[in-house]
Structure 1
């Protein structure tokens, strides 16, 4: 069965955001609300601040960050937290918002600059020593407004350094939010394209973590249930985002997948996604969607049984055919999902050229390493040539 631990404290359900004040009362008396700029002057933000106020909690808001947050934006947030004497944080937004809050909570508590806690890469390409947090992190409550990153239920965050054109992660148990409030009502206004991108993020978390050799029976159950929920709701959520029932299933899928990467990890899709995002500024969900079917085709001869279970979870109508047939059908199912959700299916759709492949592979070798466990523990450990073939197949 293996060893596993989770520190997620999840409050799930329509209307749960109204309980933010009560649920945050144990965390502190002055909150820094880190919110997606979309929520500035919104009724939702004001309702949450009123709920806090009723519990004797004052709050101030920080909006100055972007998608794929830069380490300098995190440092600005830390300065704001200290200036306003906040003793805990609330993140209201998508994965970038929650990741910003996590990195700020850790840096504010331990001092220094955010990038010191990330995998250190200097302008000359050399690697430095990553600083370890000694004091944990400020308490954090996370209210996700997208169903994709699962950051509300895991111990990691991903931060960019645009000056160096690098993305890096921080992983620590202290980064688990003390409270996760998953309210699908907060997600009904998400536009179709963002719903699609974040949905592919959730699927990739479940799929990649399931295909690692480090899974347990528990983590595999979480991954497959996440994929079932996605199969039942993904397309419908993109086509009719106001449908609360499908938003609820998408939210469940995302949170379960987020828990799962806390138990295992991500792998090939996210490893290739890092340079696609850092070097070509592709949206995170697009970097994952564009290589998914090619990765599955590369895995097919090696991992038929697992791929068959993924296909059957995604499309229960396949239950009457053999495992080999189910697995072989999965790449086409993923291509159909991209078409139905209007996501560009090939790398060329995002301005990447075949001549860029060597620099993408160089980035992987330099910043991740082919000997990293996230690759060597995959169902099939990729060589540089394997990754090159996957990228070529994704054009």
Structure 2
């Protein structure tokens, strides 16, 4: 099922600098951009892990002044963005550095929007058309192999007044440079490595199977699936293995390219509703829900699921068998890396109705290979909840 007759547009505004030790290029890259004052956007966990010290060393070498803003929460909130923007403006930041997973990188993108547009409420920039001019330079340094946010031009922020996740989207908000250094992911604990790794697998599988997939996103998605399947278990259980960390980080980056140029689908719609209602970790939600949505979608994209199984290393005699193997292999991988159950997220059955309604309203529902109504989402939530 090739999609060569469908027109598409592909743009990657971010320059990728990949390699062990690439974080040490930071000062030099900022000098090239003529940036002498930067704000580092991160969270407390990254600071405690000692990863900011590696970042700061390069800044000191080039006499670049810096301020650290570590007020980013999981599922970054609108008030995190607005406080960060106020700190950046007060400091006179000429650029931003995001160090962390998807939360700090997404938060930094939105901080850059407010600083560059003299805005005070990120809500004003929701959607695809509100960002109208280039933002101050942002360099992203991922420390998890999961979100792929270092190469996407979306920023997902929790609207705390209306209690849902909104998206600020524009090629203008993409990081100028992504310094993709496998060594920066070594300190990730096993549980985080597992959840973020299957999150990246979700990005790749959804990016490959959505209605709006196109040939370039297909290519990077399939290679991402291959890399993640090959290296995830080693990265989880032998965290010091630098080859496994490199394989996962590259898989995550490619998966980010795939879904940002195609779309995500119903797994993300469900995960975002859980993040809105429970503040549950986005990566873990995606990882746990992936096989249940794949089962629901099965009859609508068998050939593509069979290709997923092939990328994961399976052989099969027909498309139906291959598609079934894809679901089984995703479930097995989740079990092998000890992902928690859906119930462990603290979800209550009484909330399923509102969760299903929020999921159905999510714009990415339209991209799911099989149509999904509120009732369909409800059915999948119940199946995931009751499964042992």
Matching residue of 1:392 = 382
CA distance in 2, matches of 1:303, 1:42: 42
CA distance in 1, matches of 2:60, 2:124: 35
The structural deviation recorded for 1:131 is 7.6
CA distance in 2, matches of 1:162, 1:133: 21
CA distance in 1, matches of 2:236, 2:51: 22
Counterpart among 25, 28, 49 of residue 22 in structure 1: 28
Matching residue of 2:18 = 12
CA distance in 1, matches of 2:61, 2:46: 21
Counterpart among 374, 380, 383 of residue 373 in structure 2: 383
Determine if contact 1:65/1:73 at 8 Å carries over to the other structure: yes
Correspondence list, 1:1-395, <5 A: 1=4, 2-3=7-8, 4-27=10-33, 28-40=35-47, 44-110=51-117, 111-118=119-126, 132-314=130-312, 316=313, 318-345=314-341, 347-366=342-361, 368=362, 372=363, 374-395=364-385
- List alignment gaps of at least 5 residues for structure 2: none
- TM superposition score normalised by structure 1: 0.91
CA distance in 2, matches of 1:82, 1:131: 24
C-alpha spacing 1:41/1:239, structure 2 compared with 1 (3 Å): closer
Give the 3-state SS of the residue equivalent to 1:228 in structure 2: helix
Determine if contact 1:102/1:140 at 8 Å carries over to the other structure: yes
- List alignment gaps of at least 5 residues for structure 1: 120-129
CA distance in 2, matches of 1:9, 1:35: 21
Aligned pair count reads 377
The structural deviation recorded for 1:161 is 2.6
CA distance in 2, matches of 1:85, 1:44: 24
Give the 3-state SS of the residue equivalent to 1:300 in structure 2: helix
Matching residue of 1:127 = none
Determine if contact 1:6/1:262 at 8 Å carries over to the other structure: no
The structural deviation recorded for 1:320 is 4.5
Determine if contact 2:359/2:365 at 8 Å carries over to the other structure: no
What's the Cα RMSD here? 1.8
C-alpha spacing 1:389/1:13, structure 2 compared with 1 (3 Å): same
CA distance in 2, matches of 1:143, 1:363: 32
The structural deviation recorded for 1:163 is 4.0
Segment drifting more, 72-81 vs 211-220: 211-220
Segment drifting more, 189-198 vs 289-298: 289-298
The structural deviation recorded for 1:300 is 1.4
The structural deviation recorded for 1:323 is 2.2
